[in-house]
Structure 1
Amino acid sequence: MINIQKFLKSVPFAWEGIITLFKSENNAKIHLLAVVVVVISGFLIGFSEAEWLAIILTMSGVLALEAVNTAIEALVDLASPAFHPLAKKAKDVAAGAVLLFVFGALVVAGIILWNHFSYIISSIL
C-alpha cells in the first residue's frame, strides 16, 4: 500500500537536497546556468512541443545525474577520507557519467538549434 503521508514527509528532505546541490556544487551551478540559457533561448526561438520534451528530458537528466554524482562523492569521502585508488575510481566514474550525459545533451541541443538556425539563415538568403 502506498503511504502518502510518508511520501509528503520526505518531500522537504528532497528539496533540501536540491538546494544543497545548487548551493555547494560548482558544476551544478554551471548546469543550472545552462538550463536557464536554454530555456530562454527556447522561448525566443520557439521550440516545438517535441523539442521542448527532448530538451526537458535532457536537462533534467543532466541535473539528476549531477545530484547522484554529488551523493556518490559525499559517500566516498565519508567512507574513505584518505586517498584510496578505489575511492578515486568511484568518484571519477561518477563524474564521467555526468560528462557522458552532458555530451548527449550537447548533441540534442545542437540538432535542435541547427534546425532553427539553418531555417533562419535560409530565409534570410
Structure 2
Amino acid sequence: MKPKYHFLANAKFAFEGVLAMLKREVAFRIELAFIIPAMVISFFLPIDLSSHLFLIAVLFLILILEAVNSSIEACVDLITSEFAPLAKIAKDCASAAVFFSVLLALLVWGVVLFSLL
C-alpha cells in the first residue's frame, strides 16, 4: 500500500536530498559558491522585475539539473559498479544537461548585464 502524501514529510525528504548533495557533490558546492553571490548581486542591479526573475530562474535551473544529474548518477552506481557503455551514456547526458543550463545562465546574465551598458 502506498503511503499517504504528507507535505511536511515530503519537504523533509527534499531537505535531506539537499543535505546529501551538499555532503557528497563537489560540483553542487562549487555551483552554490557562484550562484548565491550572483543571486545577491542581482538584487542590486537596476533592472525590472521580470529580468530579475529571469536571472534568478536560470540560476535555479542549474541547481535543479544538478539534482537530477546526481540522482541519475546514484541510480546508475546502484545498478552497476562495472563499466557499462549505457551507464556512461546516462551519466554523460545528465552532465550535459547541467552544462547546457550553465551555458544558458551565462547567456542570459550576459545579455542582461550588457543591456545595462
TM norm structure 1: 0.83
* Residues paired across the two proteins, number: 114
Q: Secondary structure at the match of 2:43?
A: helix
CA 1:47–1:24 in 2, change beyond 3 Å: closer, same or farther? Answer: farther
Amino acid paired to 1:84 = A
* Alignment partners' CA distance in 2, 1:112 and 1:23: 33
CA 1:18–1:82 in 2, change beyond 3 Å: closer, same or farther? Answer: same
Amino acid paired to 1:74 = A
Equivalent residue runs for 1:16-31 within 5 Å: 16-31=16-31
Which residue of 2 is the match for residue 38 of structure 1? 38
Larger fraction in helix: 1
Q: Secondary structure at the match of 1:45?
A: coil
5+ residue gaps, structure 2, are none
Structure number with greater Rg is 1
Deviation, 1:102, is: 0.9
* Alignment partners' CA distance in 1, 2:27 and 2:83: 22
Deviation digits for residues 76-97 of structure 1, max 9, x if unmatched?
Answer: 0010111111111100010011
5+ residue gaps, structure 1, are 119-125
* Alignment partners' CA distance in 1, 2:23 and 2:47: 30
Equivalent residue runs for 1:11-90 within 5 Å: 11-90=11-90
TM norm structure 2: 0.89
Which residue of 2 is the match for residue 121 of structure 1? none
* Alignment partners' CA distance in 2, 1:81 and 1:66: 21
Backbone CA RMSD of aligned residues: 1.5
